[in-house]
């Protein structure tokens, strides 16, 4: 082996490369800081270092654990839900803890891991939570496939879990005994908008009965859109067009050309954020006008409005909860109290994932208050299956056997002058609905 | 009605075809010059889109500066990647290239994830749409197509009429003979690779004007670029553009007259058929 002398030329080359790499790294750090300014999380991005909120020493405690996708495509939703899990823990502990049905007061220790939005990580982390961390109860993650990945572990170890913002196809249900749900499931997403159309639009515009439905083909989009299509037919809508598309689609113009030719009055699409933006941009490019549009659940995010600006005005979408939806609650904080508490803690307005995260905690809290064996999964599951409550998030009532949410009702919001305005349900304080959707050329 | 649908279908297909062609062109030039398949194409397309988007956030009046900056950054990035990584891959087994460039793609994607978050982004350009009856033409798409055509013409002109182009062609034809004639092959490779990466970044910057994008969103474009390159003959930029138009039109017809779900499958079927009956591609000669 020959030893090569480092020439001046090579030295300069390596030094130059080092400076270039340093400059790129510095620039990257700068950009990172610039774009990360609004991110209010302090949660470790690694799955091995949990975020732990510990109670005061000497008091009885309940250990609650779960995972969230703190990194990955749905990280923002995971961070929101995790933030609210933490906020609930903090608020309850500051108020002295959970006054359980056995006469004891329990402070909460919360352990959250990052599942990196990889379903393959979930069983290992939930087993760790159950076997090593010895948690009493579990909080489910955000995103359907992650939620489904918790089910075998939860059922095997018979640990009570409150599912998170994770939809699932009811056909996949297999006699789960230890899980209850907080949110309206996937089949109810489009149904909420269809109910709103029937109640607020069709009486004034019979043409609104002519609708087109499309949706992506992954589990969530197919559940939201496929069940929505069946619901629309059941409710007597005239579905003039129905088709699906690959969820990894990069161009929707061929599909939109067909939808446009079917001439619907209202167009509903079971999509998420990326295809919602794509659909809106390409509808405009094709000058495809309808009187009302639901581009997908991603419409709910402020980033949707930021990306489309004036072209987002008038878009509607369903939501599990939103600022402006005010139910007269009989348990937990009011909507304003939750809103203020979240804003004080994280400096931003909570979205519906944050609402779900707080509701997860409230379900455990209420069930423990009613139980004389408050650390038993069997007892808590039974009570959680039978109890009812209305929180800021809406009604909580599940089917006692399946644990499916049957009490919660989704809301519908519409972008109006850059703000999300609640337009349904009427009992939650709905405001005026903008109808019809303004034509592209008139914006 | 059906004639309008037909016309709109063809227009849609040609518009996306130009983008597919441009994405494939970067890939095909890199392969043509140094026989390396750029498995990081998808990530580089997205990086080009993000650079354009980032520039746009500082200059939110027009998308043009973003395109120019993206092209410039793409060229420098190509030089950096070649010098640090790719030159060590020349002559190595395909598996080594695959693993290294796949690793690079992973690094780029995760860096973009950390820098710009997982949220899909979009450059909100406000080009008007022109309509005749049910037929609509988006001027943003026209702009993207014109840019793709101009890029192809520039690449062809560089290859045909400049000394650099002649040197590149000499290296493609016979590397050893070119070396004996005094050509610095390493320099040609550096510039050839950078040219390919520049075109890939340009495709990303143009894509950002009409489509939303996110850090891991490059794969579908990269797969289409591979289909286009195979169909249009490896190493042939003109073939690439034509193949892009064919695949774009097929994508549009399948989506408009059958179902969009089957569009990628039909594109891959075309690639398999090409491998079976004309492995040299549309523009290639039988060896």
Question: Which domain CATH number covers A175?
Answer: 3.40.50.2300
Task: Give CA B13 to chain center in angstroms.
Answer: 16
Is residue B284 situated within a structural domain? no
What are the DSSP calls for B142-183, one per residue?
HHHHHHHHHHHHHHHHHHHHSHHHHHHHHHHH-HHHHHHTT-
Is residue A129 situated within a structural domain? yes
The per-residue pLDDT string of chain A (443 residues; one tens digit each, 9 = 90 and over) reads 334 444 545 544 554 555 455 544 444 444 443 333 333 333 333 444 566 666 555 579 999 999 999 877 778 889 999 999 999 999 999 999 999 999 999 999 999 999 988 999 999 999 999 999 999 999 999 988 999 999 999 999 999 999 999 988 898 888 899 999 999 999 999 999 999 999 999 999 999 999 999 999 888 899 999 999 999 999 999 999 999 998 878 899 999 999 999 999 999 999 988 889 999 999 999 999 999 999 999 899 888 998 888 999 999 999 999 998 888 899 999 999 999 999 999 999 999 999 999 999 999 999 999 999 999 999 999 999 999 999 999 999 999 999 999 999 999 999 999 999 999 988 888 899 999 999 998 88
Shared domain check, A329 and A378 = yes
Is residue A211 situated within a structural domain? yes
**Domain limits for position A338:** 51-184+324-396
Of all residues in chain B, the one with the smallest CA distance to A45 is B114
Cα–Cα distance for residue pair A190/B145, rounded to 1 Å: 37
- Between A and B, how many CB-CB pairs are < 8 A? 130
Is residue A20 situated within a structural domain? no
Give the one of A20, A35, A254 whose C-beta lies nearest to B117's C-beta.
A35
* B97 at interface of A, judged by CB pairs closer than 8 A: no
Cα–Cα distance for residue pair B229/A133, rounded to 1 Å: 53
Is residue A391 situated within a structural domain? yes
The answer to whether the CB of A64 falls within 8 A of the CB of A50 is no
Domain count of the fold of chain B: 1
Shared domain check, A135 and A70 = yes
pLDDT for A41 equals 33
**Beta-carbon separation of A440 and B129 below 8 A:** yes
Give the one of A20, A253, A303 whose C-beta lies nearest to B252's C-beta.
A253
Domain count of the fold of chain A: 2
Cα–Cα distance for residue pair A309/A307, rounded to 1 Å: 6
- A13, A14, A19, A131 from B80: Cα distances, Å: 12, 12, 12, 48
pLDDT for A35 equals 38
Q: Cβ neighbours of residue B222 under 8 Å, at least 6 residues apart? A: B23, B41, B42, B45
**Beta-carbon separation of A76 and B122 below 8 A:** no
In 3D space, the residue among A24, A28, A4 whose CA is nearest the CA of residue B79 turns out to be A24
List the beta strands (DSSP E) in A71-227. Answer: 98-99, 105-114, 137-139, 160-162, 179-180, 210-216
ipTM, 2 decimals? Answer: 0.84
Is residue B287 situated within a structural domain? no
Position B127 confidence tier, pLDDT thresholds 50, 70, 90: confident
**Beta-carbon separation of A258 and B211 below 8 A:** no
CA distance A9 to chain B (A): 15
Say if pTM beats, i.e. exceeds, 0.90: no
Is residue A27 situated within a structural domain? no
pLDDT averaged over every residue in chain B:
90
């Amino acid at each position: 082996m020959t030893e090569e002398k480092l020439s001046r030329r090579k030295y300069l080359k390596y030094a130059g490369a080092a400076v270039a790499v340093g400059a790129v790294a510095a620039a990257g750090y700068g950009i990172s800081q610039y774009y990360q300014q609004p991110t209010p999380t302090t949660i470790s991005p690694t799955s091995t270092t949990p975020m732990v909120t510990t109670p005061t020493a000497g008091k009885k405690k309940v250990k609650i654990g779960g995972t969230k996708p703190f990194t990955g495509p749905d990280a923002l939703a995971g961070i929101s839900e995790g933030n609210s899990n933490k906020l609930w823990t903090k608020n309850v502990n500051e108020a002295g803890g959970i006054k359980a049905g056995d006469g004891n007061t329990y402070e909460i220790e919360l352990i959250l891991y990052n599942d990196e939005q990889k379903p393959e990580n979930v069983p290992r982390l939930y087993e760790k939570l159950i076997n090593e961390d010895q948690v009493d109860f579990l909080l489910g993650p955000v995103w359907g496939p992650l939620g489904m990945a918790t089910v075998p572990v939860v059922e095997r170890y018979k640990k009570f879990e409150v599912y998170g913002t994770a939809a699932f196809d009811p056909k996949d249900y297999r006699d789960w005994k230890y899980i209850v749900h907080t949110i309206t499931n996937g089949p109810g997403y489009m149904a909420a908008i269809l109910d709103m159309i029937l109640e607020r639009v069709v009486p004034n515009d019979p043409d609104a009965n002519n609708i087109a439905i499309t949706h992506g083909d992954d589990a969530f989009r197919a559940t939201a859109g496929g069940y929505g299509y069946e619901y629309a037919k059941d409710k007597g809508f005239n579905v003039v067009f129905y088709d699906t598309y690959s969820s990894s689609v990069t161009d929707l113009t061929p599909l939109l050309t067909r939808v446009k030719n079917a001439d619907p009055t209202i167009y509903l699409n079971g999509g998420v954020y990326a295809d919602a933006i794509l659909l809106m941009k390409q509808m405009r490019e094709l000058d495809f006008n309808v009187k009302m549009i639901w581009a997908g659940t991603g419409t709910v995010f402020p980033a949707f409005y930021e990306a489309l600006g004036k072209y987002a005005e008038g878009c509607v979408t369903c939501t599990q909860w939103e600022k402006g939806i005010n139910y007269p609650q009989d348990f937990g904080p009011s909507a304003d109290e939750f809103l203020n508490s979240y804003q004080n803690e994280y400096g931003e307005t909570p979205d519906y994932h944050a609402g779900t995260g707080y509701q997860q905690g409230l379900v455990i809290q209420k069930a423990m208050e009613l139980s004389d064996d408050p650390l038993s999964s069997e007892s808590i599951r039974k009570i959680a299956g039978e109890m009812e409550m209305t929180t800021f998030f809406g009604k909580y009532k599940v089917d006692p056997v399946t644990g499916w949410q049957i009490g919660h009702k989704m809301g519908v919001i519409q972008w109006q002058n850059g703000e999300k305005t609640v337009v349904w349900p009427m009992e939650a304080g709905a405001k005026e609905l903008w109808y019809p959707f303004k034509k592209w050329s008139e914006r | 009605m059906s004639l309008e649908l037909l016309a709109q279908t063809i227009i849609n297909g040609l518009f996306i075809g130009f983008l597919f062609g441009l994405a494939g062109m970067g890939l095909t030039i890199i392969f043509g010059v140094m026989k390396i398949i750029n498995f990081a194409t998808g990530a580089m397309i997205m990086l080009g889109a993000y650079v354009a988007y980032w520039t746009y956030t500082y200059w939110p009046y027009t998308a043009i500066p973003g395109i120019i900056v993206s092209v410039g950054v793409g060229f420098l990035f190509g030089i950096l990647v070649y010098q640090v990584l790719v030159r060590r891959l020349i002559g190595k087994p395909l598996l080594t290239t695959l693993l290294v460039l796949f690793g690079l793609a992973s690094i780029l994607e995760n860096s973009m994830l950390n820098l710009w978050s997982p949220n899909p982004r979009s450059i909100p350009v406000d080009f008007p749409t022109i309509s005749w009856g049910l037929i609509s033409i988006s001027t943003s798409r026209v702009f993207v197509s014109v840019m793709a055509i101009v890029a192809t013409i520039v690449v062809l002109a560089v290859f045909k009429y400049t000394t650099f182009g002649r040197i590149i062609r000499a290296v493609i034809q016979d590397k050893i003979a070119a070396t004996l004639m005094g050509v610095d092959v390493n320099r040609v490779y550096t510039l050839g690779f950078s040219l390919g990466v520049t075109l890939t970044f340009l495709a990303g910057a143009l894509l950002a004007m009409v489509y939303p994008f996110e850090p891991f969103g490059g794969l579908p474009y990269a797969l289409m670029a591979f289909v286009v390159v195979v169909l249009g003959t490896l190493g042939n930029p003109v073939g690439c553009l034509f193949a892009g138009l064919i695949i774009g039109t097929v994508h549009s017809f399948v989506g408009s007259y059958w179902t969009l779900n089957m569009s990628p499958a039909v594109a891959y079927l075309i690639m398999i058929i090409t491998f079976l009956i004309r492995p040299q591609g549309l523009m290639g000669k039988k060896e």
